[in-house]
Amino acid sequence: MSEIQAEFELSGRTAIVTGGGVGIGRATAAMLAEAGARVVVADRDRETGERTAAEIAEAGGLAEFRAVDVSQRLEVDALVEATQSAHGRIDVMVNNAGIISDAPFLEISEEDLDRVHAVNFKGVFFGCQAAGRVMVDQGSGSIVNLASGAIDVATPTLVPYATSKAAVAQLSRSVAVELGPFGVRVNAVAPGFIDTPMNERHASGPDGRLDPKKHGEVLAARATMSPLGLTGEPRDIALAVLYLASDAGRFMTGTVLRPNGGATMPW
Ligand SMILES: NC(=O)c1ccc[n+]([C@@H]2O[C@H](COP(=O)([O-])OP(=O)(O)OC[C@H]3O[C@@H](n4cnc5c(N)ncnc54)[C@H](O)[C@@H]3O)[C@@H](O)[C@H]2O)c1
């Protein structure tokens, strides 16, 4: 193994990926496992979470599924405790689970605001706190939180989502300052548009199913937002997470990494 490969190697480490059943979380869980980590795929959706864990195992990786609703503090604490008691340590915590809702600002209900912030902000807060306690005791660990390009660009109809993600970015910096002296790194990743189930709502037909023609048009339109003319894939985000999670990112903390094809810079 070359020195460079060794820096990305995660053998002997334990990682939790919330929202690991589909999309960015699924690709991240698979990549961390490919790098050698034992991965806990944590999701509120048992079917997709178990499938991801089984796919990783079939490919020769170490993975297991644990059910969690990240908006419930006790469930997040239980996830972290069960992982630590089963495997003795938690080296990587990827707080990826998230939801989105679209509505004009003046029509957003308090329930909708609370629902989005409960998963996207409080879920990440709970994950940082529970994993942070274990990592501080260990004297090492890397936490990676999923923010969004919506923190850089004001997008109509996304107020609960964008504000929850801006809070995730600042949470990551604030926690990085407190946990850094204990050897714990905390960073955020703010992806641009990625083709995942979350974004299928832009390309579904009247029956609610994905319309292939519309899907192609959405991807083509999104590609024009990048100076590279590219649309991102879940793997592009997983690579950013791997960098921050592994020793390759040992000098990185309090950062918001932006794998977005350049879409959110003024150009
Ligand atoms: N797809 C994009 O374009 C994009 C862009 C920027 C940021 N993000 C962020 O990246 C993360 C992953 O996005 P994605 O597109 O893969 O989403 P997705 O909707 O495709 O998948 C989200 C996963 O999280 C799980 N989940 C949702 N609520 C949960 C909860 N309360 N507890 C546990 N699991 C829960 C779902 O079951 C699902 O498996 C999210 O935080 C999202 O906001 C996505």
pLDDT by residue, tens only, the chain of 267 residues: 999 999 999 999 999 999 999 999 999 999 999 999 999 999 999 999 999 999 999 999 999 999 999 999 999 999 999 999 999 999 999 999 999 999 999 999 999 999 999 999 999 999 999 999 999 999 999 999 999 999 999 999 999 999 999 999 999 999 999 999 999 999 999 999 999 999 999 999 989 899 999 999 999 999 999 999 999 999 999 999 999 999 999 999 999 999 999 999 998
* DSSP 3-state percent helix, strand, coil across the chain (nearest 5): 50, 15, 35
Rounded distance, CA 195 to CA 179, Å?
33
pLDDT at 63: 98
Residue nearest atom 12 of ligand 1, based on CA coordinates: 24
CA of residue 85 to ligand 1 center, whole Å: 27
Tokens of 243: 């960098």
Closest atom, ligand 1, to C-alpha of 45: 37
Residue nearest atom 7 of ligand 1, based on CA coordinates: 148
pLDDT at 193: 97
Q: Which residue(s) pair with 255 in the sheet?
A: none
Residue nearest atom 42 of ligand 1, based on CA coordinates: 98
Phi-psi region of 94 (alpha: psi -120 to 50; beta: other; left: phi over 0): beta
Number of residues that make up the chain: 267
Closest atom, ligand 1, to C-alpha of 24: 16
CA of residue 22 to ligand 1 center, whole Å: 8
Rounded distance, CA 56 to CA 59, Å?
5
pLDDT at 230: 96
CA of residue 97 to ligand 1 center, whole Å: 5
Helix axes of 159-179 and 123-138: crossing angle, nearest 10 degrees: 10
CA of residue 4 to ligand 1 center, whole Å: 30
Residue nearest atom 1 of ligand 1, based on CA coordinates: 194
CA of residue 130 to ligand 1 center, whole Å: 20
Domains and CATH numbers, the chain: 3-194+233-257 (3.40.50.720), 196-231 (no CATH)
Rounded distance, CA 136 to CA 185, Å?
10
Closest atom, ligand 1, to C-alpha of 70: 32
Residues with C-beta less than 6 Å from any ligand 1 atom: 18-19, 21-25, 43-45, 48, 68-71, 96-99, 119, 123, 146, 148-149, 191, 193-194, 196-199
pLDDT at 5: 97
Tokens of 190: 């703010």
Q: 131, 239, 140, 122: which is closest to 181 by C-alpha? A: 140
190 contacts 171 by C-beta, under 8 angstroms: no
Q: Which residue(s) pair with 92 in the sheet?
A: 15, 142
Q: Which residues have a catalytic role annotated? A: 161
Residue nearest atom 37 of ligand 1, based on CA coordinates: 45
Rounded distance, CA 135 to CA 128, Å?
10
Tokens of 194: 């990625």
pLDDT at 155: 92
Closest atom, ligand 1, to C-alpha of 119: 31
State the pTM of this model. 0.98
